Amino acid sequence: DGGITQSPKYLFRKEGQNVTLSCEQNLNHDAMYWYRQDPGQGLRLIYYSQIVNDFQKGDIAEGYSVSREKKESFPLTVTSAQKNPTAFYLCASSMRREIGTQYFGPGTRLLVL
């Protein structure tokens, strides 16, 4: 059953703590993306990667970090430098030549305690 999985569905972070959100895909897609969504707003791009071991900053990369060691995986770390991390985080993937056609995971909702 092909698709994108994100875990966990809900994540709680204490002040000053780093947390890592998981994103895995078995669609054999080269490109992967992380978006942030705040209530009532559209999606904003955090980071994207078009190939293994390479990634680019999106519009709101400050306070976040990523790695792309495997084609299937693109974890996102929300660092303590991100002062307002409470949001809905969405991971997506696409063929490298079809960036406009992205497949999204179910999302992770991050809450700060």
Interacting residues with other proteins (CB under 8 A): 4, 33, 35, 40-45, 48, 50, 58, 88, 90, 92, 99-107
Least distance in Å: CB of 56 to other proteins?
9
Could you give the CA distance from residue 33 to residue 64 in angstroms, rounded to a whole number? 13
Please say which residue, 20 or 41, places its beta carbon nearer to other proteins. 41
DSSP string, 59-90: TT-TTEEE--SBTTB--EEE-TT-S---EEEE
Looking at beta carbons only, is 80 or 88 nearer to other proteins? Answer: 88
